[in-house]
Chains A and B, each alone.
Chain A
Amino acid sequence: MKWQVRVRARAGGFDLDATIAGDRAPCVLIGPNGSGKTTLLRVVSGGHPPLAGRIRVGERVLYDSDAGVCLAPEERRIGYVPQGYGLFPHLSVLDNVAFGLAAASPRRSRGRRRAAAAGLLEEIDCGHLADRLPVKLSGGERQRVALARALLPEPELLLLDEPLAALDAATRRDMRSYLAGHLAARGRPALVVTHDVRDVHALEAPAVHAMEEGRIVQSGSPAHLAAQPASDFVGEFFRPAGAVRRQRRNW
């Protein structure tokens, strides 16, 4: 399934103007803090109104300013996992995961929604967490639960905003391979924001988009960006020494 995003939007202090596209393989978005990555994900999810452009996932047009199309977030079939995972603090893990089925059609009973959520939690070895509130979870558990919640309604495009940033180093290693395995097995497109070059390699992302000040400054394979970086940021991101330095800072 191919998807394509071409949008202009106002974001905080600058204009966002970005065009990115991908297919079923995970696609990575990199860029310095404040470059507009989160805003771009929100625009795609429908949570931030763009000024103009077109968003297409497969055959479905989610947004087209020329044709006057703008689907509401609940009509877009997009899975969004924000920074910090966005688990609902007042709902148990089970109710968090089942949440996405509450408004789905055909309507299912509460019992069947919870059974479906419980089944998925078992699959990811989180069945024992079902009754806990999110505040009682570790970082890695939150990440798994948030991913499960986003995947249960079977979205056509998955948006992950720094899915590994809030984790300690050991958990991050585990979750990186977990995430890569899940996205590969699912075979549906995903757009992943990251600050870590190791995520790019682990996800085996064929395409990386580098964003700075609201614009895509370079797109291409990781090897291409590493060999011919278009900006200091891209060069630093892929430079092995830089990766080691960043790694130390994070640890």
Chain B
Amino acid sequence: MRGPRGGLWGGRGAVLAAIPMLAIVAVPLIALAGASSPSDIAAGARHPLFAPALWLSARTTVASLAVIVAAGTPLAWWLARSSGRGVRAAELLVDLPVVIPPAVMGIALLQTFGPRGLLGPALASLGIHLPFTTAAVVAAQVVVSAPFYIQGAAAAFRRVDEDLLIVARTLGQSPAGAFFRIAVPLALPGMVAGAALSWARALGEFGATLFFAGNFSGSTQTMPLAIYTALESDTRVAVALALVLAGASVLLLVPLRALPSLLSRRLDRPSRSPHARGRPK
């Protein structure tokens, strides 16, 4: 498929033009990696802020990912399989948290669930107080990172050939049967890629969490907030925490980047043939 290495567009000029951006991304990471000695990292890991923050980040991101996949998959399916003005409007709405600053989302959540918010008093009468709890951390992560999963899953669902779904139905499957037996297996690489992005975004969530959940060690202080807190007292601890978080992200990224392509290589989509596309005539 690809020609000789470099090919038509991989000449020296193209490489030179690509270097500045690559450097902008890479240099800070290299600086971070070089800033700490192994003993510093070990000291950072022993710091009292570290373990509770890591454990809280792990718990809350798993919980928010579960909520996002459970509630986001039906939404993604609907966005992918329907058309009309309502669907386009819903698509815009889903994309909004990507462009709205997280701090603004945090304020919006307070306006919803706070003591004088839209739903706060009603929930309070039921004995539910969301702000400044661990549940608020999860809520902030869900709102901010859900679009990444929904967009990825909807794009993957859109690539599922309509004819395959119709054939599955004529072969006796209910709508749910066609969804789980055909649509989900075929869309799985895209769904996993979207979930990975979403998880990474939730892991780094800072602004909305700080405003809506606060910064209390053990209950709402996730890794990014712990870095922020540590920076006020001891830069070395902040750097060590940052390195651990970066390491965890990289560890997450590698398998999550490899998984979708592994999954889709197994299928080796035959849809390159012009007849495999389902367009009505």
Contacts and interface: CB of A to CB of B under 8 A. Distances in A.
B273 to A, nearest CB: 6
Interface residues of B, number: 33
A86 interface: yes
B273 A46 contact: no
Interface string A31-73: 0011111110010011110000000000000000000000011
B167 to A, nearest CB: 4
Contact of B167 (A11, A12, A39, A86): A86
A103 B169 CA distance: 10
A11 B170 contact: no
B267 A46 contact: no
B267 to A, nearest CB: 5
B161 interface: yes
Nearest to A83: B275
Interface in A119-170: 133-135, 149-150, 153, 155, 162, 165-166
A165 B177 CA distance: 30
B45 interface: no
Contact of B270 (A11, A37, A89): A89
A73 B275 contact: no
Contact of A88 (B162, B182, B277, B281): B182
Contacts of A78: 170
Interface in B253-281: 266-271, 273, 275-281
B218 to A, nearest CB: 45
Contacts of A100: 171-172
Contact of A80 (B167, B177, B267, B273): B167
Contacts of A74: 169-174
A103 B177 contact: yes
A38 B170 contact: no
A76 interface: yes
B281 A39 contact: yes
Given A48-B280, A103-B174, A90 B270 contact: no
Contact of B275 (A99, A103, A165): A165
A236 B174 CA distance: 43
A66 to B, nearest CB: 24
A135 B270 contact: yes
Nearest to A152: B171
Contacts of B181: 99, 102
A206 interface: no
Nearest to B172: A103
Nearest to A45: B170
Given A12-B280, A39-B281, A135-B267, A86 B171 contact: no
B95 interface: no
B171 A82 contact: no
Contacts of A166: 273, 275
A202 interface: no
Contacts of B165: 47
A134 B270 contact: yes
A149 B163 CA distance: 14
Contacts of B268: 89, 133, 135
A47 B172 contact: no
B15 to A, nearest CB: 35
B166 interface: yes
Interface string B113-144: 00000000000000000000000000000000
B18 to A, nearest CB: 34
B171 A11 contact: no
B161 to A, nearest CB: 7
A84 interface: yes
Contacts of A47: 162, 165-166, 169-170
B84 to A, nearest CB: 13
A42 B276 contact: no
B169 A42 contact: no
Nearest to B182: A88
Contacts of A134: 270
Contact of B170 (A34, A46, A101, A104): A46
B53 interface: no
A38 B281 contact: yes
A230 B159 CA distance: 40
A135 to B, nearest CB: 5
A99 B273 contact: no
B185 interface: yes
B278 A73 contact: no
A133 B266 CA distance: 9
7 contacts: A11-B280, A74-B173, A76-B170, A82-B166, A84-B273, A90-B185, A99-B181
Given A46-B166, A81-B167, A84-B277, 11 more contacts: A73-B169, A78-B170, A84-B273, A88-B164, A88-B167, A89-B269, A100-B171, A102-B172, A150-B170, A153-B172, A166-B275
